[in-house]
Structure 1
Amino acid sequence: MNFLNLQDFIRRPPMIHNLSQKLTTTFIHHRIIDAEDREVYIYSFELLLSAVINLAVVVLLIGLTGQVAGGMGFVLTFLVLRQSAGGYHASSHFFCILSFTVIFSVFLAVITFLPPLYYLPVILGALVLGVPVIVLTAPVAHVNKPLTGAERVRLSRLAKLTVVVLTALIMTGWYLAPGSAAPAGAALGLLTVALSSLAALYQKRKRA
């Protein structure tokens, strides 16, 4: 495999790309979609399949560690907040899957070996670091999908509201169930979004 082929393998993993092509061809054959939209649907199926793989990774890792509450708290907070706050986007489906797998694995390792006694310091630390970053930076748009002024204002307000609601839910969750890993997982999910936003801003400055 030469360097150019390796780059294409990383950018568009053969399994995902080939399956996306087959699905698109099937849809075209049955006249569900138009042939001229082929490339658009191939890319859309690649996104969908990447999301499915990420979900499978989540289920597998949660199953292996048994961290259902913490894992669900992390994933739900991450997904909800990313919708308005934005953040870093990997350059390929391969790196998207890889980066999420690494991040989620590190999180599960932390939450598995962290005694419940330390949940509150972790929660407070994650919120103190993460909330201001999201409030000040959201939304961080993808370089290929710029936002209009109205969209930026709307998403900024939504991100701030989401952060306030999540913070209240996290602290309430810890107060009601201090031994549960769910509030700690949610707080670390919030912090991950904040770090993702900082990474995206750093990436933009490097390109400028």
Structure 2
Amino acid sequence: MTKWLSHRMVERGIIKEEEQELYQFGIRNGMILLLNVVTALVIGLLTEQLAVVAVFTLSFMVLRSYTGGYHSDSRIFCYLGSNLVLLVPVYTQAVFCKTSLAWLLAVLLVSAGIIFLLSPMHSKNRKLDKEEQKHFGRKARL
């Protein structure tokens, strides 16, 4: 589908032929992102936890952009893994609602400390050079 779309864009003069591969990559990633957002929306609606899913998904997407971490070789495994991670706050939010504010703040501080100390993270599929480490590390800490 991405080849067809990029080919049509070349035919219509929207992009140059030498840019076709780059646009295929962008279209493919955009479609994957859209699929993940739609899946998150469906999970939120089915579990009646749309607010929890929305807050977690937005937070996770922003945080993940700057902190790095594991990158799967397989798109299917990435999709399934991402959605399994999404189920954690959906099914544990009731526990957090019953937890004291002191414990919640302690968990928040420990989590922030881990992010502060360990980000950005490399992976075998996404290596960061020194400049990227500095840039993403600064963004993650903010």
Task: Give the TM-score, by structure 2 length.
Answer: 0.83
**What is the aligned counterpart of 1:92 among 67, 71, 74?**
74
Question: Which residue in the other structure is 2:137 paired with?
Answer: 156
Question: Which residue in the other structure is 1:182 paired with?
Answer: none
Shift of residue 97, structure 1, vs aligned partner: 1.3
The residue type equivalent to 1:158 in the other structure is: K
The residue type equivalent to 1:103 in the other structure is: V
- What is the DSSP-based 3-state SS (H/G/I as helix, E as strand, rest coil) of the residue aligned with 2:14? coil
User: Aligned Cα RMSD in Å?
Assistant: 2.3
Question: Which residue in the other structure is 1:34 paired with?
Answer: 16
Counting matched residue pairs gives 142
Paired with 2:100 and 2:3, the residues of 1 have a C-alpha distance of: 46
Q: Does the 8 A contact of 1:47 with 1:93 survive in 2?
A: no
Question: Which residue in the other structure is 2:26 paired with?
Answer: 44
**What is the aligned counterpart of 1:76 among 53, 58, 65?**
58
Cα deviation, 1:85-119, whole Å, max 9, x if unaligned, reads 111112132222111111112331222x5372227
Q: Does the 8 A contact of 1:27 with 1:33 survive in 2?
A: yes
Does residue 1:60 correspond to 2:42, yes or no? yes
Q: Which has the higher contact order (CA 8 A, sep 6+)?
A: 1
Task: Give the TM-score, by structure 1 length.
Answer: 0.59
| % identity of equivalent residues | 27
Paired with 2:25 and 2:100, the residues of 1 have a C-alpha distance of: 41
Shift of residue 130, structure 1, vs aligned partner: 2.0
Shift of residue 78, structure 1, vs aligned partner: 0.8
Cα deviation, 1:127-166, whole Å, max 9, x if unaligned, reads 24422221111112454554342332222122112xxxxx
The residue type equivalent to 1:36 in the other structure is: E
Question: Which residue in the other structure is 1:166 paired with?
Answer: none
The residue type equivalent to 1:137 in the other structure is: L
- What is the DSSP-based 3-state SS (H/G/I as helix, E as strand, rest coil) of the residue aligned with 1:114? helix
- Contiguous gaps of at least 5 residues in structure 1: 1-18, 162-208
Shift of residue 74, structure 1, vs aligned partner: 1.0
Q: Quickly say closer, same or farther: Cα 1:110–1:94, change in 2 above 3 A.
A: same
The range that moved more, 92-101 or 127-136, is: 127-136
